[in-house]
Chains A and B, each alone.
Chain A
């Protein structure tokens, strides 16, 4: 078992290696795998042998020493450029080191140290500690199980947890609660692994039935998609290849204009400026309309005012029974997903101006014979690591901007596969050339994934090579600029000092810690940013993002504001795998330009993913707890009932087993062997089983002599011995079908009386 654990750990190390170096060759991968396995196995053997000898010091000192050495090695490894780890991963590795030290040093106490690699028995305390650590690491690793190496770590831990428990269960000890923690670790690990393997999709209806999904008419779930209140079934199929636009009503052009309506619903209408208000008072005939504004250039949604009225009530909008139809779009794929729909460069102090769409060149081409549309001028950066694939279904989004994830490589949109259907904008977004986005369109999008650990080695774009609009920070007060420099730790005279990704990260991190996100916070006075930073320290996401953009620009990093939709794990419906995005998912974030031309998504709003990466474990845990609380409140009677029944069953399990056995014995007419089986079972349940080396007749004789009459006992033992041992090739004996006094013996040697005896024996032991 220990060997199997070592192998699994080696696999986990190997998986981490692969995930760090996607371009490594097959041979080097195999080499690392073998090396990892050998290192783990040899470390185990060497440490076991070294510690089996009588070293000075206690076991806990040995444990400490080994743990310190292991942690030092891991920390050194984690600092090399190859294995850059996030802090979270580093903590996990440290914890594992402690567990390994406990495991090794605990095993060394075992006398037969040579075989310790294959069969180990550990002292209970070390096992329990290992179990606790495996719980913690499992919980930390769980949020990222979408990634293969994380899943493997969880599998390895669950396995080792089970191993430890199996070993621990052999020894009985007083630390029941520690064992309980270990059990929960294993259960969590196993459930997560199983959940990842058997996904509760529609293809798996039997499992999906157990997973709470919204639905029906009674449940007011935001994402209802089951039962009578279903939304319009406007999509013929799920594959982008099978979907095209036709002339049915469902695919008719939407009258809505994309983000603008979402903004109104989500953040409320903008406060009208003075000159606009004046115009309302003028009689229509007095107004000299010069020309109808060009929809392309002056359409709604081309600017965003940061001073707005409070929205009506977002919650009432989302609890409509037919909310399904209100979804702007659905996303399936790695979460969290950012879908940028507009980018802003110019800030006038109270409103953002969108980067002009312009009449861009045709930005795409058909890739080979496939139906994939490739983006020309794809960015390439050393910060990329692999790709993400998302499936996006358009709801009543409207507008003409295609909803893509950031840094898109290629996409598929059914039979809409001519390059002239698409236009690009200066912001790097792709639009439909001649019409608005139809409802029901299905897109498959493949985009580059950014590895935050690699960004440290990449230069941000230099100011002189950038669009000057992306560097203006007119709205930022002096106070705020000073605060920025303090956070950036930059020299005022020479802002290029310490320039680099760590500085950007530092500013964003400090900002996230400094402010709180409050969707209903409204800027009341002129300078919304100062109010946010120094007074209320609460703000909406657009206020925080605005502050972040201006702060980074003041440090001369080219930065822009982006708006669109945001989805994370909690939005995903377990059954379909899609997250339905409504106006409540409208969000603002920022993008910073790198020297190689890539815009990197960054989110300064607390509570949102910082780097387009899974949320930190604390937040994930909070989400899970919140969800469980909601669930528990809704199903309280059932949960109480089930828990009551389960507890009752657990408390009386011994009696139930005993009843079943006795009933079976009675039906068969109390044959001696059956009577023995029942009594043996009772002894086991009472905690004093028959020693394997004691012949049953002898053992039964001792038991019976204290309670039942000796005569009956002797009869029973004689019949029992005859039935058990009188079979051979040379003689034959038919086992007795029934034995009259069996019932009497069973009545006297009841489970209760055996328990009593055990308790009395324990009392006597204590006295002596």
Chain B
């Protein structure tokens, strides 16, 4: 009896060198990001996982902690087009998606693409704009397309949103609706750097006069390579035991008493993909529960309806309430 060999299994055997090449590339992105944002290895690890899982990223923290720096460094090292959208309360949906303009010469309406037509989109201070404009981002994030005047416009294959926001308690913010939050793969908090890293940062700031003087991050991978990497991540094996663990975890979120909104099936898919990405980053071709546990906090944080102050505590409880599958 012959067992049909899955294609990607063959690929993993033959493409050993290719995998190593990819991992080296990722290592360089990692180094580049580490230079941009010092002393935040675990945040960067999650950022990378999010990119490889082809998910959108939400960074929430106080102003001045390096959210935009990180986003710009990532966009730079990945290459491709980079656009930035600064959200204000008077921003309109058309400012995001683009709009049709009457061309006097051709006497036709012509579509002027908005900032979403790019590879990496940095949406700064997303919760400063109105829910109406926030919703305009929904379609682009979920479907990777934009509909303007009944015409659908395709976005880039590697369209990737990095949104930053200030904590919701601050003045002049509009909380993101749940539907929008579910489109993001992860929510990360950066936090203050440690003492030695701040010293390093200060030392590095002596010399350059203005922002433009700082070296622009070098481009490390082509945007096509990133797409290739994302396909590789999607093929990382997930054993039945680990999938069982994922489902158990999802069900635990739905029955936990402090969680108002449990993990949706889409969220579960995202969790699996993020775990795959983490396994890939660790150089493994299969997912272990360690991967799930490592990516679970940012993935669950963005989409579980729970009091923000207790989020990390509740997620810890959730993880501790589910047994890790072992044995045969």
A694-B288 Cα distance, complex, nearest whole Å:
12
Residues 235-280 of B at the A interface (beta carbon under 8 Å): 237-243
**B290 lies within 8 A of A697 (CB):** yes
Contact A725 B242 (CB under 8 A): yes
Report the bound CA distance from A726 to B238 in whole Å.
7
Interface string of A457-496 (1 = CB under 8 A from B): 0000000000000000000000000000000000000000
- Is A695 touching B237 in the complex (CB atoms < 8 A)? no
Q: Which one of A676, A691, A722, A728 has the highest number of Cβ atoms from chain B below 10 Å of its Cβ?
A: A728
Question: How far is B285's CA from A696's CA once the two chains are assembled, in angstroms?
Answer: 18
Q: Give chain B nearest CB distance to A419 CB in angstroms.
A: 78
Q: How many residues of A contact B (CB 8 A)?
A: 23
* Distance (whole angstroms) from the CB of A334 to the closest CB of chain B: 55
The contact of B288 among A673, A693, A721, A731, by CB within 8 Å, is A721
Contact A692 B240 (CB under 8 A): no
Let me know if A249 is at the binding interface, CB within 8 A: no
Interface string of B309-328 (1 = CB under 8 A from A): 00000000001111110111
| Residues in chain A near residue B238, CB distance under 8 A | 728
* Least Cβ–Cβ distance between B291 and chain A, in angstroms: 9
Residue ID in chain B nearest A727 by CB atoms:
B239
Check B286–A725 contact: CB distance below 8 A. yes
Interface assignment of B9: CB less than 8 Å from any CB of chain A: yes
Query: Can you list 26 residue pairs at the A/B interface with Cβ under 8 Å?
Result: A691-B320, A693-B319, A693-B321, A693-B322, A693-B324, A694-B324, A695-B288, A697-B288, A721-B284, A725-B239, A725-B241, A725-B242, A725-B288, A726-B237, A726-B285, A727-B239, A727-B240, A728-B238, A728-B239, A728-B240, A729-B240, A730-B237, A731-B9, A731-B237, A732-B3, A733-B286
**From DSSP, what is the main secondary structure of chain A's interface residues?**
loop
Nearest CB in chain B: distance from A416 CB, A: 72
Question: Roughly how many angstroms separate A90 CA and B8 CA in the complex, as a whole number?
Answer: 78
Q: Does B293 contact A (CB under 8 A)?
A: yes
Residues 207-249 of chain B, each 1 if its beta carbon lies under 8 Å from chain A, else 0: 0000000000000000000000000000001111111000000
Which residue in B8, B287, B321 is a CB contact (below 8 Å) of A725? B287
Contacts of B288 in A (CB 8 A): 695, 697, 721, 724-725
| C-alpha spacing A312/B100, complex, angstroms | 132
Contacts of A728 in B (CB 8 A): 237-240, 243, 286
Per-residue B-contact encoding for A699-734, CB less than 8 Å = 1, 0 else: 000000000000000000000011011111111110
Asked if A730 contacts B6 (CB within 8 A), the reply is: yes
Whether the Cβ atoms of A693 and B323 lie closer than 8 Å is yes
A711 CA to B228 CA in the complex, in Å? 33
Q: Is the CB of B324 within 8 A of A695?
A: yes
The 7 tightest CB contacts between A and B, nearest first, are A692-B323, A731-B237, A695-B289, A726-B286, A725-B239, A693-B320, A728-B239
Is A315 positioned at the interface, with any CB of B under 8 Å from its CB?
Answer: no
For the A-B complex with A695-B289, A721-B288, A733-B286 known, give 10 more contacts whose Cβ atoms are closer than 8 Å: A676-B326, A691-B320, A695-B324, A698-B290, A725-B242, A726-B285, A727-B239, A728-B237, A728-B286, A730-B6
- Chain A residues lying within 8 Å of B242, measured Cβ to Cβ, are 725
Task: Enumerate chain A residues within 8 angstroms of B289, measured Cβ to Cβ.
Answer: 695, 725
Q: How far is the CA of A730 from the CA of B10 in the complex (A)?
A: 12
- The distance in angstroms between the C-alpha atoms of A697 and B324, with both chains bound, is 11
Measured CB to CB, the nearest residue on chain B to A696 is B326
Considering the chains assembled together, what is the distance between the CA atoms of A127 and B151 in angstroms?
73
User: Which of chain A's residues have a CB closer than 8 A to the CB of B237?
Assistant: 726, 728, 730-731
Distance, CA A733 to CA B285, complexed state (A) = 11
CA distance A696 to B326 in the complex (A): 8
Q: Give the distance in Å from the alpha carbon of A695 to the alpha carbon of B279 in the complex.
A: 14
Digitize A726-755: 1 where CB-to-B-CB distance is under 8 Å, 0 elsewhere.
Answer: 111111110000000000000000000000
Q: Which residues of A contact B284 (CB under 8 A)?
A: 721
> What residues of chain A lie closer than 8 Å to B3, measured between beta carbons?
732
The distance in angstroms between the C-alpha atoms of A673 and B327, with both chains bound, is 7
Residues of B within 8 A of A721 (CB): 284, 286, 288, 290
Whole-angstrom distance between the alpha carbons of A710 and B326 in the complex? 23
Option from A677, A695, A726 in Cβ contact (under 8 Å) with B290: A695
Contacts of A731 in B (CB 8 A): 6, 8-9, 237, 285-286
Q: Which positions 675-700 of chain A face chain B at CB distance < 8 Å?
A: 676-677, 691-698
B238 to A, closest residue via Cβ: A728
CA distance A688 to B9 in the complex (A): 39
B238: shortest Cβ distance to chain A, in Å?
6
Instruction: List residues of A (617-670) whose CB comes within 8 Å of B's CBs.
Output: none
Residue of B nearest to A724 (CB): B326
Which partner residue on chain A sits nearest B320 by CB separation?
A: A693
Closest chain-A Cβ to B236's Cβ sits at a distance in Å of: 9
Which residues between 57 and 71 of chain A lie within 8 Å of chain B, taking CB atoms? none
Residues of chain A lying within 8 A (CB to CB) of residue B240:
727-729
CB pair A695–B6 under 8 Å, yes or no, is: no
Closest-by-CB residue of B relative to A718 is B284
Residues of B within 8 A of A725 (CB): 239, 241-242, 286-289
